[in-house]
Amino acid sequence: MSAQSLVVLMNGTMIGEVIRDRSGRSRFVYANAWRQQHDAIPLSLSMPLVRAEHPHAAIDAFMWGLLPDNEQTLARWANRFHVSARNAFGLLSHIGEDCAGAVQFVPPERLDAVQVTAEEDIVWLSEADIGERLRALRNDPSATRRAGDHGQFSLAGAQPKTALLLRDGRWGVPAGRTPTTHILKPPSDAFDGHAENEHFCLTLARRLGLPAAHSEVRRFDGEAAIVVSRFDRIEYDGQLLRVHQEDFCQALAISPTRKYQNEGGPSPEAIVDALRTHSSSPARDVDTFIDALAFNWLIAGTDAHAKNYALLFGGGGRIRLAPLYDLGSALPYPSLRQDKLILAMKIGNTYRLRDIRRHHWEKLLRGAHVDVDAALTRITAMATALPDHASDLSRFMRSEGVGHPMLERLPSLLAMSAHDKLAWLSRTDNSHDDA
């Protein structure tokens, strides 16, 4: 087999190529013209512009980070496109034209269709069309697009989802140069009310002062979905632009199969180090990240792994911590043993939610070289404010017509969690038998 290539575009500009050799190994090569631009940004922090070529370890981790974490989805896509489910290059050659961030992975023969001068290719959908697609997605997580759709996309994560364009009140499936603007996720069969749960937690985070993605719960032809506005898309000068982003597994060249810290994934300290090294506002972003860890501790957000924290690349080389996304509380689900719940990242010496005490936070903060008193003051203030904000938010959502039995339980469960954790934070005589 001869070498194959995928052209990598960033907002329509070629930044390099992924080249797959006869042995099946990929490497990424920056275009010289891109490296010479004064405002060029890297494909990934793990592939700096100072080097023209980067080996398979970094580009493979980056490409896998763009693909779903769902093995069933990958297997069905592989069958549909006649490639191996373990071939990220092959999969992206079919579904890489709309990814997280500003990048597109495009076969050379498709370049004309994705150039900014190409005609728009959008299939507009009715509410019934979207409802039908959501029903199909609930039954088959690989049904992100229908057979025959020109516009293919790829988004990471284990939950089934689709991505659409919203323009002037109309929903559509874009292809080529036009990006999607919103992510739609149907309810999870495993966790009843998950769409409402995620919407509640994202909104609660913003009310507590954390940057988080904007969302709403909508029904399309009777099918509920959480609709999340993409923060990696912006309107500028009348144009819809992609904004580059990458998650912390990609930034640190770690396979998404190791996204959880206890499976070899990034620790809070590693993320703090990366923010200090690369963020344009390191002090603010480190504080925000610590506050996000605390928020997930307070709400029992057990899936806040390294792929659920990301960096945004702005103009002038600015890099910032991205808004939070994929938030959710494990508290409303009796099937989850509350005494067994663990966080995705370790606080001090322990992952187990019920074991985390003040001294665990102190250990983490000292290890990350963060001002312990200032951070604990912010965490305490967040825990104190959370119950009232959760109660107010519950009333507001009911007034907006967002209802689910789970939402009747969640505010009181969050209040109890915050109350318990305030008590744990106030005690300075905790035993130091770290779990």
Helix (H, G, I), strand (E, B) or coil at 379: helix
What are the backbone angles phi and psi of residue 328, rounded to the nearest 5°?
Answer: -175, 150
Q: What sign for the dihedral angle of Cα 170, 174, 180, 184?
A: positive
Beta strand ranges found along 85-138 (DSSP E) = 103-106, 121-125
In the chain, count H helices and then E strands.
13, 18
Do residues 280 and 318 lie in contact, with contact meaning Cβ atoms separated by under 8 Å?
yes
Among residues 105, 94, 89, which one has the least CA distance to residue 16?
Answer: 105
Do residues 409 and 332 lie in contact, with contact meaning Cβ atoms separated by under 8 Å?
yes
Which one of the listed residues 247, 287, 303, 326 is annotated catalytic? Answer: 303
Active site residue 433: no
Structure tokens at 214: 């904007």
What are the backbone angles phi and psi of residue 74, rounded to the nearest 5°?
Answer: -60, -40
Q: Which residue has the tokens 């994560």?
A: 157
Instruction: Give CA–CA dist 44/60, Å, rounded.
Output: 12
Contacts 24+ apart (CB under 8 A), 388-394: 389/204, 389/207, 389/208, 390/204, 390/414, 390/415, 391/415, 392/207, 393/200, 393/203, 393/204, 393/207, 394/200
Catalytic sites, residue numbers: 303
